[in-house]
Structure 1
Amino acid sequence: MSHSHDHYDGAEPIDHSHDHDGHDHNHDDDITPALQNLLYEQIDFSAVTCLNEATPRSAAKILQKTWAQRLEPDPELASDADEQLLLHVPFAGQVRLHSILIRTSASDSAPMNLKIFINRDDLDFSTANDLAPTQVLSIAQSNTVQEYPVKRALFNSTRSLTLFFEDNWSQGEEDVTRVSYLGFKGEFMKLNKEPVAFLYEAAANPRDHASIIGTKSGVGSHIGGAGGRGGF
């Protein structure tokens, strides 16, 4: 089965391998640049889902690997009935996605084409096949972590990502697609609900609040002050 790569936009993946021709190298120097803008703590791991994963929750487990664990073979995400995987990754707020970090393998089980959908929690394999993705990436066969930059203008308001691993490098001969590490880089914008709570309390009637022990007034008066509509 042939595969067209007309979608490839020329962005070369960044190789996070450390082959230094036998020279001694302190890997502590590699950690800080690699961890900049890593969206690890912002992933809602409990809400991660994956269709056609051979082992339940294996997709969530590879996302939970830290950068220090990126080269560990297990846990691993492997497909079940065929080579396709559909992974939904929600964030705890809104992010501006910069790139996707993936470690696969040098074998034919490495994914080949990755379709990315933004802010869709309703996709199955049928709709993922039919709908136009936000972006498509061509994934390399590699035992090292590869970083794939995305078109940032398309991912400025990302609340979730759905990753459709459409095929692998076996040209239809290998039913199992394998991914051992997956991460994201970008900027996190925490959803700040404090202004909403403040407006709600500011509009409340102080008489609706029980008085705080040791004070003469209720909670509402501390927000509205003497100039509030219920001031004392």
Structure 2
Amino acid sequence: MSGHHHHDHGPGGHCHDEGHDHSDDITPALQSLLYSQIQFEMVSTLNESVSRAGAAILQKPWTERLSEQPELESDADEQLLMHIPFAGQVKLHSLLIYTAPTPSAPKTLKLFKNRNDIDFSMASDLKPTQTIEVPQPVPGTDVFELPLSRASWNATTSITLFFEDNWGDEEITKIGYLGFKGQFMALNREPVSVMYEAAANPSDHVAIQGVHGIGGRIMPGQ
């Protein structure tokens, strides 16, 4: 018995586990990263210097979050306005952002929920759902995970990010990576049809006696 135990928890395995746990400190659980729920082709960014750069930094895989390109850069002035629609309803928990440690790193970020009509003049006047100050990055900084007020971000179908200024009073704001953590909520009709299909699946009835004739519904305790 003890020999078996030793085999399971040998020094090699232990060492490997330690390394694995350490990397998980920053790496988000895959199911909480809302990457596949972003409708990339419908992302719009106002004042981006290169067309589709806003969508490109959202599409960066997590493993490439610190890569220099693509990078979103503002054009006429320091402000950027991004509209990001989701494929359904999400509950947002936090925003993930990486910017290189330069004076062009964004500072004030105003977030608006479920609005697809915001332009720069509206963004300055409207009361945001939440305002965040993005910390100033220093050399060696990884992604910042900025918690969102969860009560404000239930049933989110889109988010608009207004980057109002940056840390250096620069004319150009630069952002390297953006992501979101949260929970994806299927649209109301989806779980219903899924449950119905599961109930109607003949293989579900094999081990259950007396189910037929009551529409496949099992009451608790039966």
Letter in 1 for 2:147: P
2:34 corresponds to 1:39: yes
* CA positional deviation for 1:72: 0.6
Deviations 1:4-29 (CA, angstroms, capped at 9, x unpaired): xxxxxxxxxxxxxxxxxxxxx84685
2:28 corresponds to 1:30: no
Higher helix share: 2
Letter in 2 for 1:35: P
2:162 corresponds to 1:167: no
- Aligned-pair identity (%): 55
- Partner Cα separation in structure 2 for residue 133 and residue 53 of structure 1: 21
**Which stretches in structure 1 are left out of the alignment for 5+ residues?**
1-24, 199-224, 226-232
Letter in 1 for 2:168: S
Residue equivalent to 1:17: none
The 1:194/1:38 distance shift into structure 2, 3 A limit, reads closer
2:139 corresponds to 1:146: no
2:124 corresponds to 1:129: yes
Residue equivalent to 2:202: none
- Partner Cα separation in structure 2 for residue 195 and residue 69 of structure 1: 34
* CA positional deviation for 1:192: 4.8
Letter in 1 for 2:111: I
**Which stretches in structure 2 are left out of the alignment for 5+ residues?**
1-17, 195-214, 216-222
Deviations 1:177-228 (CA, angstroms, capped at 9, x unpaired): 0000000000001115358889xxxxxxxxxxxxxxxxxxxxxxxxxx9xxx
Which one of the candidate residues 161, 178, 185 is aligned to 1:182? Answer: 178
Compute the TM-score of the two structures, normalised by the length of structure 1: 0.70
**Matched-pair contact (CA < 8 Å) for 1:105–1:144:** no
**SS state at 1:35 partner:** coil
**Matched-pair contact (CA < 8 Å) for 1:76–1:180:** yes
Deviations 1:140-172 (CA, angstroms, capped at 9, x unpaired): 12242100001100001100000000001113x
* CA positional deviation for 1:42: 0.5
Deviations 1:56-115 (CA, angstroms, capped at 9, x unpaired): 000000000111111111000000000000000000000000000000122110001000
Moved over 6 A (4+): 195-198
- Partner Cα separation in structure 2 for residue 145 and residue 194 of structure 1: 34
Compute the TM-score of the two structures, normalised by the length of structure 2: 0.73
Letter in 2 for 1:179: I
RMSD: 2.2
**SS state at 1:154 partner:** helix
**SS state at 1:122 partner:** coil
Which one of the candidate residues 58, 66, 79 is aligned to 2:61? Answer: 66
Letter in 2 for 1:136: T
